[in-house]
Chains A and B, each alone.
Chain A
């Protein structure tokens, strides 16, 4: 059984790397979608944010992280490795978006303006959607060609579904988004674990 030390070391080494542009776009879109006054603008931010999170998850850096030979030479089961690998992108996305929205809220207060009433709820829904897209897309890192494209499509659909469920930011909608996001995220991490357990690092 993997210890907390190994999980933290894997996650912290990924967290130390400079964020990619797509990750920054995903964070900005989550913040923008939460702070947007009109639902149309928020929906546009949501779509771009989910796409950016997916692109960040399938990029060269993330692929190198997921297929790092050192991790496959270590005595870890696939599911343990999956849990350790997904931690860094999820933490980075959530913390950055929270900090960004706090900054927007403080700026709005200084300028005597106010955020929409449902800003925090919408941020939670958009973050859940982007995290689900990230988790689903990461399984594609260990695949190539058509299978990789399939995971990208799956990530976009899963992220969009969670965002759609929680978009109105009512308590019921947020609960539905949380349940759907939690279920999809759990399944995605299990699938990544299975993928890593079967993966043969040839390159």
Chain B
């Protein structure tokens, strides 16, 4: 069973008093299976606005699929997964508007034509082109990097989001992204095993 923990969250009773509107991610027994093989075993996770959580899975493929599930890109086979109370199976558009996804650093495509990539992202999320470019520049400056992974984060943050999902980030990268995020944005990272970077928790 995957290990999941939320850091910086108040404990049980106080946490339960929180209203649903503060809850950014709710996963209860969320599972992904294909052709009868369970790729992502059931996991439970509740993340509120501004919190940072991690999800450690048994292998890289499971971590990759779980990250995409949390971002609403891959649909759960069974169980419940809600992004800001939107079910990606029923309301994929609403869920994807609020969640940003950053692939694993080794999967991030090289920047190439950065301008075209920003324009495509801006068009897909209905953001004017100029503010989108300014936002990307600002995020890259805050991250202090211009590599492919940093660019992927900048593209994910081209519009306001409530949840940012990082697939198997390195500890340094995760820390830099966490520092740069605004207080209302939750961060969920996936990792492999208990010693994975994503399982190293720190309150924001």
List chain A positions with a Cβ less than 8 A from chain B: 3, 5-6, 8-10, 13, 16, 69-77, 197, 200-202
Contact = CB atoms under 8 A, between A and B. Distances in A.
The A contact surface, by secondary structure, is: helix
Nearest to A6: B123
A69 B124 CA distance: 12
A202 B34 contact: yes
B116 A77 contact: no
B123 A69 contact: no
Interface residues of B, number: 26
Nearest to B93: A75
Interface stretch (B13-21, B66-74, B181-189): B66-74
Contacts of B120: 9-10, 13, 70
B153 to A, nearest CB: 13
Contacts of A8: 123
B123 A5 contact: yes
A73 B74 contact: no
A25 B125 CA distance: 36
B121 A70 contact: yes
Contacts of B65: 202
The B contact surface, by secondary structure, is: helix
B73 A72 contact: yes
B23 interface: no
B122 to A, nearest CB: 8
Nearest to B77: A200
Per CB-CB distance, the 5 closest pairs between chain A and chain B, nearest first, are: A74-B124, A9-B123, A75-B93, A75-B96, A200-B74
B101 interface: yes
A75 B124 contact: yes
Nearest to A74: B124
Given A13-B116, A202-B34, A73 B123 contact: no
B126 interface: yes
Interface string B7-33: 000000000000000000000000010
A12 to B, nearest CB: 9
Nearest to A202: B65
Contacts of A72: 73
12 contacts: A3-B126, A5-B126, A6-B123, A70-B124, A73-B96, A74-B121, A74-B125, A75-B97, A76-B124, A200-B75, A201-B73, A202-B68
Contacts of B96: 73-75
B73 A75 contact: no
Contacts of A5: 123, 126
B73 A69 contact: yes
A9 B124 contact: yes
B120 to A, nearest CB: 5
B118 to A, nearest CB: 11
B103 interface: yes
B105 interface: no
B119 interface: yes
A10 B123 CA distance: 9
Interface string B70-84: 010111000000000
Contacts of A70: 120-121, 124
B94 interface: yes
A160 B107 CA distance: 40
Nearest to B98: A75
Interface string B87-114: 0000011101100010100000000000
Contacts of A13: 116, 120
A10 B37 CA distance: 34
